C-alpha cells in the first residue's frame, strides 16, 4: 500500500495514495460567501473548479500555526476535492501489516489506524469517512 504523509500542526497524518490525484503548491483561493464552514473556498485546477476543504476543521483541530504550503487534490467517487495542509512530507510504500488497527470506540471513526515509522507516529485516516461527517 502506498500512502501520502502530510503535516498539520506538528502532527503527521497519512491517506492512501490511491485517493490522491495530485499535490500542488498553494494557489489562489476564491472565497464563497455563505458556504458551509468546512469549505475554505474554490480553486481553479487547470480549468476545473475544485472545492477546497478546511482539513483542520474536519479533524477537529485548531487552525495551523504554520503556513499551509501544499494542496492535496483528492478523487472521491466521481468528484475532485482539495485539502490544504502545512506540508506534504513523502509518499511511502508500506506493508499493511504495520498498520495498528484501532477500534472506533478508542478514536474518531475516520481513523483507519496508527503507523509507527521508526519512532514517527502517523495517523492513517479514511478520507471518505472523514468527509461524511
Q: What is the CATH number of the domain that holds 124?
A: 2.40.50.180
pTM, full prediction: 0.89
pLDDT at position 106 over 70: no
Determine the structural domain holding residue 12 and report its residue range.
2-131
Q: pLDDT tens-digit profile of 44-75?
A: 998 999 999 999 888 888 876 677 889 999 99
pLDDT at position 107 over 80: no
Beta bridge partners of 54: none
pLDDT computed for residue 28 by the predictor: 93
pLDDT at position 42 over 90: yes
Q: Chain-centre distance of CA 125, in angstroms?
A: 8
How far, in Å, CA of 117 to CA of 35, rounded? 38
User: Would you tell me how many other CB atoms lie within 10 Å of the CB of residue 94?
Assistant: 16
Q: How many domains does the chain have?
A: 1
CA angle 77, 124, 83 (to 5 degrees): 55
Amino acid at each position: 500500500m502506498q500512502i501520502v504523509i502530510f503535516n498539520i500542526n506538528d502532527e503527521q497524518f497519512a491517506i492512501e495514495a490511491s485517493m490522491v490525484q495530485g499535490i500542488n503548491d498553494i494557489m489562489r483561493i476564491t472565497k464563497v460567501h455563505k458556504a458551509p464552514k468546512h469549505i475554505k473556498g474554490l480553486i481553479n485546477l487547470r480549468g476545473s473548479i475544485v472545492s477546497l476543504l478546511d482539513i483542520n476543521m474536519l479533524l477537529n483541530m485548531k487552525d495551523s500555526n504554520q503556513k499551509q504550503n501544499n494542496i492535496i487534490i483528492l478523487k472521491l467517487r466521481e468528484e475532485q476535492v482539495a485539502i490544504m495542509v502545512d506540508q506534504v512530507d513523502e509518499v511511502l510504500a508500506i506493508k499493511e501489516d504495520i498498520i495498528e488497527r484501532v477500534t472506533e470506540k478508542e478514536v474518531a471513526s475516520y481513523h483507519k489506524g496508527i503507523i509507527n515509522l521508526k519512532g514517527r507516529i502517523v495517523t492513517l485516516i479514511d478520507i471518505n469517512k472523514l468527509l461524511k461527517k
